[in-house]
Amino acid sequence: MDDWEIIDSAMTNKEKQEFYTDKAKNPTMRSLMTKKELGYVKKPYYPKIDITPIRTIIPRVIPKEPEENLRITIKKRADARLKQEQEDYAKLYGVNGIASLKVPEWT
């Protein structure tokens, strides 16, 4: 008997199971193992999963209002800002005389 046979004969089934399971984690070692040694390897436990079809709920599509063109939106906001600047200028400096030369307007 060689050394390994002596060690193998002295191990209990539980020790063999732990030893061979640990060695089987390495693919190279697993390929070198015999059928008898692979018989001691613990198989991983995968719980049974119930796969039932899930009914999908399709949301009701509410039609959106058509979005306004970006150029129109920019034009409206620019006009509103210019009007506000003109009103602020008129309150601060007035619009008569020399002050009328600096009234904000489109450039």
For residue range 13-57, list pLDDT tens digits in order: 888 888 888 888 888 888 888 888 888 888 877 778 878 777 777
Q: What pLDDT band is residue 1 in, cutting at 50, 70 and 90?
A: low
8 Å CB contact between 90 and 104: no
8 Å CB contact between 77 and 84: no
Q: What pLDDT band is residue 107 in, cutting at 50, 70 and 90?
A: low
8 Å CB contact between 105 and 82: yes
* Domain residue ranges of the chain, discontinuous segments joined by +: 3-38, 70-102
For residue range 74-105, list pLDDT tens digits in order: 899 999 999 999 899 888 888 777 777 777 77
Within 10 Å of residue 103's Cβ, how many Cβ atoms? 13
User: Which H or E run includes 68?
Assistant: none
